[in-house]
Amino acid sequence: MQSSLIPERPLIVSPTLAATIGLEEAVLLHVLSEQLSFRGAQRRDGLSWVELGQQDLLDLMPFWAWIDIKRIQQSLQELGLLLVDAGTSRGDSWFFAINQKESVGQTAQASSAPAPVTAPVPRSTPDQPGRASYIAADWQPDHEWLVLCGQHGVPEDFARSLVPGFVMYWRDRGQSRFSWGNVFYKHVLQKWREDQSRRSAGSLETPMSSRWRPGEEAIAILVNAGISEAFIEDAIPEFVLYWRERGEQDGAWNTRFVGHIRRQWARYQASVEHDGVPRPIPEGWQPSEEVFDVLRLAEIDEQFARDKIPEFVLYWRDAGQVQASWNTKFLQFIKFAWARRPEAIGTGVIQSHARDQQTVERDRHGLEAAFRRFTDRSWAE
């Protein structure tokens, strides 16, 4: 037998053992059995134990990463073929023992399984209830998971295209999971929704067509807001022409149209109410609330103004004249009527008399002062 110090020493694996427990498990089991022979095993509890560190295992199996060694080791422990003594582990080294009374090397040479195994364990599908494991480098999802993805409309080709990136991501993270199939299933659904959202956003980016018309829902929203259907129809050609000339692409033409019509309708309503065209006063005319706000600022009684409305309307209906703003005319009428009230007139007379008296007194004193100034002869004395 060649020395274990020679790095190119071949590994011999029993085909039957590999078919029973998996090729990776059989390789690791064979390497550990050789170390039990070459490193001088310690006998304890009827088993042979050998101490190996992380770097020892990496040197013995340079074709695997540390995550692969831990994953395969865990698989052998779950099969009951490998024991790891955590109580005597020191730092990054552990004691390993093969869980059988006979030598594993002798068992491998005899092409027999080292322990009774009820069923083969697939090496690339470690998803089993109650067993967390690392993901294998050649991991592939089970057919059942692909069928479940298909029930959500995910094509199988799309799901399989995500496998390499999924495996690389979780191997780099070095985490174990109880069901990699379930993790992959959720990952596929998330990526599928993101892909569909991107496709939907891209499909909505369309230029304005010469035959474009607003949708029924957009028209219903505008009609329910009290906008005339004839006004909406008349605005469509102008809207289409404007956006076709700009050459923009948009995915929400209906939304833009609704906003455009609402603004145009508000401007139209305002122009109708304040177009400046003289009109006769209507029979049931009433001043706007802004008129009474102005009257309150002028400290004119609101009820006084309201009582004058019938008289105002009757006078101008009989006169048959037209005005551009009956609100302004009414304000002038009320201010004039308020100033001509009896109590206002009396107060005005008294105030006017007082002002006249002040003027007379001021003029008299002025004349007396001027007379004294011109007749002053004190300088000649």
CATH code of the domain containing 61: 1.10.10.10
- For helices 216-224 and 229-246, angle between their N-to-C axes, nearest 10 degrees: 130
Do 43 and 114 lie in a common domain? yes
Lowest model confidence (mean pLDDT) among 65-79, 92-106, 170-184, 225-239: 92-106
Residue 51 belongs to a domain: yes
Supply the pTM of this predicted model.
0.34
CB 18 within 8 A of CB 114: no
Last residue of a domain, one of 67, 94, 123: 123
- For residue 150, the enclosing domain spans 143-204
Token duo for residue 165: 């990136």
Q: Are residues 249 and 319 in the same domain?
A: no
Domain assignment present for residue 7? The answer is no
Kindly report the number of other CB atoms within 10 A of residue 354's CB atom: 10
Q: What is the mean pLDDT of the chain?
A: 77
pLDDT surpassing 50 at residue 54:
yes
pLDDT at 127 over 70: no
Rounded to 5 degrees, φ, ψ at 104 are -70, -35
Q: Are residues 31 and 104 in the same domain?
A: yes
User: Contact 251/205 with Cβ under 8 angstroms?
Assistant: yes
Which of the listed residues 249, 273, 297 is the one where a domain comes to its end? 273
218 with 249, same domain: the answer is: yes
- For residues 143 and 127, is the Cβ–Cβ distance under 8 A? no
User: Does residue 163 register a pLDDT over 80?
Assistant: yes
* More confident position, 347 or 342: 342
| DSSP category for residue 128 | B
In the predicted structure, residue 59 carries a pLDDT above the cut 90: no
- State whether 56 and 109 are in the same domain: yes
Pick from 4-13, 152-161, 265-274, 337-346: least confident: 4-13
101, 87 contact by CB (below 8 A): no
Q: Has residue 137 been placed in a domain?
A: no
Provide the domain count of the chain. Answer: 5
Residue 324 has pLDDT above 90, yes or no: no
318 located within any domain: yes
Strand-pair category, 176-177 with 133-134: antiparallel
Does residue 362 share a domain with residue 324? no
pLDDT for 360 equals: 55
Residue with tokens 């007749």: 375
Domain co-membership, 118 together with 63 = yes
Whole-number pLDDT of residue 122: 39
Does the structure show a pLDDT above 80 at 367? no
* Contact (Cβ atoms closer than 8 angstroms) between residue 101 and residue 155: no
Q: Which residues lie closer than 8 Å to 247 by C-beta, 6 or more apart?
A: 207
Alpha helices in the chain (DSSP H): 15-21, 23-38, 54-60, 66-79, 104-109, 143-150, 156-161, 163-173, 180-204, 216-224, 229-246, 253-273, 289-297, 302-307, 309-319, 326-339, 342-374
Question: In this structure, are residues 98 and 104 in contact, taking their beta carbons and an 8 Å threshold?
Answer: yes
Number of Cβ atoms within 10 Å of the Cβ of 23:
14
Give the end of a domain, one of 251, 273, 295: 273
* Residue 267 near residue 292, CB atoms below 8 Å: no
176: helix, strand or coil: strand
Residue in the structure block whose two tokens are 């009609």: 223
In one-letter notation, the amino acid at residue 274 is H
* 268 assigned to some structural domain: yes
3-state secondary structure of 131: strand
Q: Which residues contact 231 (CB under 8 A, 6 or more apart)?
A: 261, 264, 265, 268
* 119 and 42 both lie in a single domain: yes
**Same domain flag for 231 and 181:** no
Within a domain: 6: no
Query: Picking from 4-13, 220-229, 314-323, which range would have the lowest pLDDT averaged per residue?
Result: 4-13
Quickly list DSSP for 10-62: PP---HHHHHHH-HHHHHHHHHHHHHHHHTTPEEETTEEEEEEEHHHHHHH-T
For the chain, state the CA radius of gyration.
51
Q: 151 falls in which pLDDT band (50, 70, 90)? A: confident
Measured N-to-C along each axis, helices 180-204 and 143-150 cross at an angle, to the nearest 10 degrees, of 30
* 373 and 294, same domain (yes or no): no
Which of these ranges, 52-61, 144-153, 358-367, has the smallest mean pLDDT?
358-367
pLDDT of residue 162: 93
Q: Look at residue 188 and give its three-state secondary structure.
A: helix
Residue 50 pairs with which residues in a beta bridge? 96
Would you say residue 196 has pLDDT above 50?
A: yes
Query: How many other CB atoms sit within 10 Å of the CB of residue 265?
Result: 18
DSSP-derived secondary structure letter, 380: G
User: Which amino acid is residue 76, in one-letter code?
Assistant: L
Clarify whether residues 365 and 284 are in a common domain: no
374 falls within a domain:
yes
pLDDT at 140: 92
CA atoms within 13 A on the CB side of 169: 9
Mean pLDDT of 345-357: 56
Segment 67-126, tens digit of pLDDT:
888 888 888 888 888 888 765 555 678 888 888 754 444 444 433 334 433 333 334 444
Helix axes 216-224, 253-273, angle to 10 degrees: 30
Q: Is residue 110 part of a domain?
A: yes
- pLDDT: which is higher, 27 or 102: 27
Looking at the structure, do residues 33 and 53 belong to the same domain, yes or no?
yes
